[in-house]
C-alpha cells in the first residue's frame, strides 16, 4: 500500500463509495479553504462559497466572449482536452487552465451557477446547475452546446431517457435546474478511487474530476501545487 501522501486529505471514508453528510460538509470546507488560499489568478470562477442550508457548495463562472465564430457550432473547438477520449482524471487539469485562458472572451455574457449538494437518497454529491445569458435561462440544447465538451457529448447523451443530464427541481430552492443524474456516481467513484486514504476532500476532488469536467467545472492543477502536489496514487486510471 502506498504510504506517501495521496490525495490532499488523509483518512478513511465511512461509507465509500458513498459520502456521509458530515464528510460532505468537511470536504466542502477544506476545498473552499484550498481555493481561498490559492492565488486568485489561478481560479477562473467568479465566486465560490458554502451555503449552510443544505449545505451547498456554490460556484459561479462567467464565460465571456466576443468571438462570434464560437457561438456557431462548435463550442468544443475550444481545446479543452485534445484527446477525444473520456478522460476523468484530475491530471487533465493542467491543460484546462490554458484552455480557460484561451476560452476567455469566447462567450457572450454566459453565466453558469453550479450547486453541489449531497443527495439524501443516493448519498453522493450531485451537480445542479443553471446556464444564463443576460438573465435568461438557457435550455438543454444550449447546455450541451456551451458546457459539454464535444468528446463527452455522445457518452452523456446516450444514457437514460434524455441523456445523463436531467432537467428537474433544485432540492433546496425548488426552482428549475439541470443536474447530472447521480444513480451511477457511486459506481464511478468505486472504479476511480478506493475508500482508503482519500478522505472527504479527496473524494470531492475525484468527484469534481469525474462530473465537473463534463460540464466545464474544472480544477486548475495549480490548486494542488502546494506541498509537493498531490500524488494520486490511490486513484486508479
Partner 1 sequence: MDQLSLGSIQKAVWEGHLPLQFTLAPSESRTYDQTDPYLISYSRISYLPSLLPKLKAFFSSSLIDPAASAPHDGWFSFENVPLKWHYPVGLLYDLYAGAAPATKSSDADASSDDSLPWKLVVHFSDWPDEELVRLDAQGMVMNDAFINSVKEADFVRNGTAKGIMSLSKDDSSGLWKAVQDVDLPSFQRIMNILLPAPSQPFRNLPVRLFLPLPPKPDSTDSDIDPTTPSLKVVQSPIPPTMTLPLAQTTTNMTQSTLLSSSRIPSGTGSPQPQTQQQTIGSALHSLLPNLFPSKRTPVLAKPVLHGAAVPMSAPVEEVVRCSAYGDGWVYIVIRMMG
Q: Is 59 or 165 the residue whose CB approaches partner 1 more closely?
A: 165
Binding site for partner 1 (CB under 8 A): 120-122, 136-137, 139, 160-162, 166-169, 174-176, 181, 183
Least separation, in Å, of the C-beta of 167 and partner 1?
5
Q: Euclidean distance between the first and final Cα of the chain, in Å?
A: 16
Q: Where are the beta strands (DSSP E) in 29-86?
A: 47-51, 56-65
Choosing from 6, 93, 183, 214, which is the catalytic residue?
183
Q: Is 32 or 186 the residue whose CB approaches partner 1 more closely?
A: 186
Least separation, in Å, of the C-beta of 137 and partner 1?
5
Q: Is 9 or 123 the residue whose CB approaches partner 1 more closely?
A: 123
CA torsion angle 151 156 162 167 (round to 10): -100
Q: Is 183 a catalytic residue?
A: yes
Omega into 17 within 30° of 0, i.e. cis? yes
DSSP 75-123: GGGS-S-SS-S----GGGHHHHHHHHHHHTTEEEEEEEEEEEEE-TTT-
- Alpha carbons 200 and 121: distance in angstroms, whole number: 19
Least separation, in Å, of the C-beta of 142 and partner 1?
12
Q: Is 175 or 231 the residue whose CB approaches partner 1 more closely?
A: 175
Helix, strand or coil for residue 4?
A: coil
Dihedral sign for Cα atoms in the order 97, 99, 105, 109: negative
Least separation, in Å, of the C-beta of 184 and partner 1?
9
- Alpha carbons 151 and 21: distance in angstroms, whole number: 33
- Alpha carbons 224 and 202: distance in angstroms, whole number: 11
Least separation, in Å, of the C-beta of 172 and partner 1?
10
**Cβ–Cβ contacts within 10 Å for residue 88, how many?**
19
Q: Is 174 or 228 the residue whose CB approaches partner 1 more closely?
A: 174
Known catalytic residues are: 183
Amino acid at each position: 500500500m502506498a504510504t506517501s501522501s495521496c490525495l490532499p486529505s488523509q483518512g478513511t471514508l465511512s461509507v465509500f463509495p458513498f459520502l456521509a453528510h458530515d464528510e460532505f460538509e468537511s470536504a466542502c470546507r477544506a476545498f473552499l479553504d484550498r481555493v481561498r488560499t490559492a492565488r486568485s489568478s489561478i481560479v477562473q470562477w467568479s465566486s465560490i462559497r458554502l451555503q449552510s442550508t443544505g449545505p451547498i457548495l456554490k460556484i459561479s463562472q462567467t464565460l465571456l466572449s466576443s468571438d462570434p465564430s464560437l457561438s456557431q457550432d462548435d463550442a468544443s473547438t475550444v481545446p479543452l482536452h485534445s484527446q477525444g477520449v473520456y478522460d476523468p482524471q484530475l491530471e487533465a487539469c493542467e491543460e484546462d487552465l490554458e484552455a480557460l485562458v484561451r476560452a476567455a472572451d469566447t462567450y457572450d455574457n454566459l453565466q453558469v451557477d453550479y450547486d453541489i449538494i449531497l443527495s439524501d437518497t443516493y448519498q453522493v454529491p450531485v451537480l445542479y446547475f443553471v446556464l444564463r445569458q443576460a438573465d435568461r435561462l438557457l435550455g438543454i440544447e444550449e447546455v450541451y452546446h456551451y458546457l459539454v465538451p464535444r468528446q463527452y457529448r455522445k457518452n452523456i447523451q446516450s444514457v437514460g431517457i434524455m441523456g445523463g443530464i436531467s432537467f428537474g427541481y433544485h432540492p433546496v430552492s425548488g426552482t428549475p435546474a439541470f443536474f447530472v443524474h447521480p444513480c451511477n456516481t457511486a459506481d464511478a467513484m468505486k472504479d476511480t478511487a478506493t475508500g482508503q486514504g482519500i478522505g472527504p476532500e479527496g473524494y470531492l476532488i475525484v468527484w469534481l474530476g469525474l462530473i465537473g469536467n463534463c460540464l466545464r467545472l474544472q480544477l486548475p492543477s495549480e490548486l494542488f501545487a502546494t506541498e509537493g502536489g498531490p500524488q494520486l496514487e490511490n486513484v486508479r486510471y
